[in-house]
Structure 1
Amino acid sequence: MGREIIHSDLWPSLRITSYYSLEALAECVGFYSQVRVEDFDDMPWLREHVKATTEQHWTLHAFTPFSSWNDMSSFRITRLTIEVAWGGNKDPVVAILPSLHHLRALKMTFDNPTEHTSSVLAFAAKSDQLVELELHYDGDEEYVWISDAMIRNVLEWFQRRPVHTFHIESWDIQAEDTNLKQALFEALFNCPTIEKLVCNNTLMGGVNFANCTFSMRSLEISLLDSTTLKMMANQLIGSNVMDLTVNSRYDKDIAGIQLLFEILPRTAIETLNLSYSHYDTPHWQTLAPLLAQSQLKTLILQENDLENAEIDIIARAIQSNNSLVAIDVSLNYIDFKGMQKLIECATDPTRNAQMKLIAVGGNGISEEDLDLLTELAARRGVEKLKTTNGHDKAEEEYSHFS
């Protein structure tokens, strides 16, 4: 294709980008039922070479000409990702959304969010195809102001469509109708078709979780206070949640997270991600022993300010656990001795579970010591010791353990 071929650009879908020659792309594009169009604005070429029935997944950045966006409605775009740089104008693409009649998945990043969020939610409420919506926020305002009308549009979308994925960030729900906030979260947590729900940095004070069934497989919620987490934890018993991410960085009250650890054996949770939640040594002395009875397969503790004292407690708890097969302690402050202890405890012969992955990158350990840890892990049967930083597609990497 004129450049070194990257396998992921060819399978399972073809990546169409100016990086490769158009002649080479033209020769093979007809064999694909799905293509990924990334920052490519040669609309005549797409019309000529891509079949009308081919699903197109588009990614747009700031340098995609706005004039090209107006031609988008003539293509079978089923998935759209918009990553316009900070300060970029999103008005043209927001305006064209209603004409994308095949769109099933939309991911947008905002820096001036309230107006655009309102427009996107209004589009979602009337869409006949949309089942996945991710609204990311990258701006200097603390929260996105959510009005009654915006909540009603979310409720209408959930009533009309079998929603699979919903991702929101920094929502401050300022509903004049006090019942709307409760109705919103009950709709999110009780949706029978939802597979993944993300509510990051979203204020949930005053929400009653008593009628929430948590029907999704994957749930991610950040900046929870201990009181809210306690109410939520009880509802996770018997729920469908298998992958849970919670973050309570700014709350030193551990009553909520302690209750979560206590009820883990009565849940379906197999992956627990507590990254960015900072607990000190006395906290881990309370929490870690509760891991012994859990059925967790994966525990992720990235950027938790862990040092040797904490990892020693956690390692001994893992030694008593018979289900964990993956542990991520990337981006902490654990030295060679601490990692050695973790590997030895995780691979103790008394455990009934073979450790498949241990992630240790970003702890400031020297390359020489990382080589020694890799040798130790291999001798003790660990399938993979990951020594790179932990921010690269952790969700996909650990998903097959659940």
Structure 2
Amino acid sequence: MSLSALLLTRLELPVDIIVKIAFYIPDATDFFKFLEALRPCYMLGPLEHLYKLGLTYDRNELWPILVLKSSLVDSVDRYAFEEIVKCYSHVEVEEVWTNVEWLQKNISPWTKIDWIIRNSIPTAKVLDDLINVRITRLSFVFYDEVAPTWWSDILPRLPHLTSLEAYITSEEEEPSDFFECVAASNQIIDLEIDVSHYEMRAEDLVHLTQWFQKQPVRKFVCFSGDWKAANMNTRQAFYQIMFNCTTLETLKLSSCHLDYVDLTEIVFTMNSLELIDCELHLSQVETLASRLEGSKVTHFEYDDNRIIENDGMEYLLKAQSRTGIKYLRLQSTRLFGPRWPTLAQWIEKSTLEVLFLDGSYFPSNGVEILALAIQNNPTICELYLDYGTIRISDLRRLIESMTHPSRRVETKPIVWKKYYGKVPQSDDLKALKELAIKRGGEFIIVLQP
């Protein structure tokens, strides 16, 4: 019996307290280890059903958010799901449920519900029934042609909806009055859109501007926002209200056209800012770096291959120590060019806590320069490498620099994500992990297909 189980047994805590303790565990692996440790003590109560479901179902779909699929209503595990769903404060419902009565009967009226729709449209009856279900987040993806006005039917029927994610990838489908519906909403404060095959019109930007003016917007994410069709005045009005929104916590723009936008009056009040391939000119990057000074941004991600051969990246790194940025992610396939030694000097002088470098190739000479910069830096405690090609010896060098005895940071993990190419020998990876542990750090490899 584990020490935690033994202590809880002697305390003779009631089941409801055990359930509350368990639900404070954020990680699925740790959560089920906790259940397994307590199971011999017969203290799990309704969590016994969850433990048994974890033996046959994907545990990541059981915790921390319970994923509900319509097929479970007719499964042998229906009773187990009905017993545990009442314990959750947050669940995810996938696809269109025709048995809305089951949701109403078994889910607490205070539970937040994420509704995920993929290539299917709910009937009018289902929509009418869902009005009494507390759906707070809606995410839909359509790859085929669908009815262009369905969202004008569904959004007014979800009075608790605060978060909306829309991915429209069909070339046949146009968002029609989607942005008008968002602007008319009285509760949506989180919006994530992917309009890869749609050229946004001037009226779309006007509606988004109205949404920012009307709502205390908390999060805005836009992929492939092609708004060049709008005139410069309309675009600038949108930029001003978006970047200067005082309630905004997270802003992510990917493949959005920000060239020629005037950043001189931008305040950047959000905590997290991501600008991915937004076609900024060098002068804009210089202004961006200066405006980040004194801003509230603590998490910053930047990717634009156009500026790596000039002073753009240096502007950002040079300004970092005068900002509140603690998490910095830089992405470029040409990061380790002639200017890399200069950039590394600013990394060494930075006050960063997390450094994330993203690219496709990590040359040995670039590794050595980075290793020396990290070794002499007093604050960087996490290093992420999103590179496909790097030598085992270079990874060893980075582990040694992160865990150098002269560095007094508390945590020292090095995470390497590998997406393609030959997988390193297991013995090599084991040796790297053992080296990191021996030196008080941690080496993690994430293999992606």
Asked if TM exceeds 0.5, the reply is yes
Give matches, 1:120-131, under 5 Å: 120-131=178-189
Give matches, 1:265-304, under 5 Å: 265-304=321-360
1:199 matched to which residue of 2?
Answer: 253
**Given that residues 109 and 135 in structure 1 are in contact (C-alpha distance below 8 angstroms), is that contact kept between their aligned partners in structure 2?**
yes
- Per-residue CA deviations over 1:278-315 (Å, capped at 9, x if unaligned) read 32341211211111111111111133422222111111
Go from structure 1 to structure 2 and tell me whether the alpha carbon gap of 1:182 and 1:308 turns closer, same or farther (over 3 Å shift): same
1:145 aligns with 2:145: no
* Greater mean alpha carbon deviation, residues 191-200 or residues 267-276: 267-276
1:373 matched to which residue of 2?
Answer: 432
- Per-residue CA deviations over 1:238-287 (Å, capped at 9, x if unaligned) read 10111111001244433111111111100000111113453234121121
Match of 1:16 among 65, 68, 92: 68
What CA distance in whole angstroms lies between the structure 1 residues aligned with 2:169 and 2:416? 33
What CA distance in whole angstroms lies between the structure 2 residues aligned with 1:266 and 1:113? 45
**Given that residues 298 and 326 in structure 1 are in contact (C-alpha distance below 8 angstroms), is that contact kept between their aligned partners in structure 2?**
yes
Go from structure 1 to structure 2 and tell me whether the alpha carbon gap of 1:114 and 1:5 turns closer, same or farther (over 3 Å shift): closer
What CA distance in whole angstroms lies between the structure 2 residues aligned with 1:58 and 1:249? 37
**Given that residues 297 and 326 in structure 1 are in contact (C-alpha distance below 8 angstroms), is that contact kept between their aligned partners in structure 2?**
yes
Match of 1:313 among 369, 375, 383: 369
**Secondary structure at the counterpart of residue 294 of structure 2:** coil
1:43 matched to which residue of 2?
Answer: 100
**Given that residues 275 and 304 in structure 1 are in contact (C-alpha distance below 8 angstroms), is that contact kept between their aligned partners in structure 2?**
no
1:220 matched to which residue of 2?
Answer: 274
Gaps of 5+ in 1: 392-402
**Secondary structure at the counterpart of residue 197 of structure 1:** strand
Go from structure 1 to structure 2 and tell me whether the alpha carbon gap of 1:198 and 1:390 turns closer, same or farther (over 3 Å shift): farther
Go from structure 1 to structure 2 and tell me whether the alpha carbon gap of 1:334 and 1:174 turns closer, same or farther (over 3 Å shift): closer
What CA distance in whole angstroms lies between the structure 1 residues aligned with 2:161 and 2:120? 22
1:261 matched to which residue of 2?
Answer: 317
**Given that residues 230 and 257 in structure 1 are in contact (C-alpha distance below 8 angstroms), is that contact kept between their aligned partners in structure 2?**
no
1:357 aligns with 2:413: yes
Go from structure 1 to structure 2 and tell me whether the alpha carbon gap of 1:65 and 1:146 turns closer, same or farther (over 3 Å shift): closer
1:399 matched to which residue of 2?
Answer: none
Aligned Cα root-mean-square deviation (Å): 2.6
* Greater mean alpha carbon deviation, residues 214-223 or residues 294-303: 294-303
Go from structure 1 to structure 2 and tell me whether the alpha carbon gap of 1:169 and 1:118 turns closer, same or farther (over 3 Å shift): farther
What CA distance in whole angstroms lies between the structure 2 residues aligned with 1:154 and 1:388? 38
Go from structure 1 to structure 2 and tell me whether the alpha carbon gap of 1:134 and 1:28 turns closer, same or farther (over 3 Å shift): same
The one-letter amino acid of 2:241's match is A
What CA distance in whole angstroms lies between the structure 1 residues aligned with 2:328 and 2:172? 32
Identity fraction in percent: 28
What CA distance in whole angstroms lies between the structure 2 residues aligned with 1:343 and 1:337? 10
**Given that residues 164 and 194 in structure 1 are in contact (C-alpha distance below 8 angstroms), is that contact kept between their aligned partners in structure 2?**
yes
**Secondary structure at the counterpart of residue 351 of structure 1:** coil
Go from structure 1 to structure 2 and tell me whether the alpha carbon gap of 1:366 and 1:283 turns closer, same or farther (over 3 Å shift): farther
**Secondary structure at the counterpart of residue 320 of structure 2:** helix
The one-letter amino acid of 2:427's match is E
Q: TM-score, normalised by structure 1?
A: 0.87
The one-letter amino acid of 1:167's match is V
**Given that residues 347 and 355 in structure 1 are in contact (C-alpha distance below 8 angstroms), is that contact kept between their aligned partners in structure 2?**
no
1:236 matched to which residue of 2?
Answer: 292
**Given that residues 399 and 443 in structure 2 are in contact (C-alpha distance below 8 angstroms), is that contact kept between their aligned partners in structure 1?**
no
**Secondary structure at the counterpart of residue 287 of structure 1:** helix
What CA distance in whole angstroms lies between the structure 2 residues aligned with 1:211 and 1:335? 45
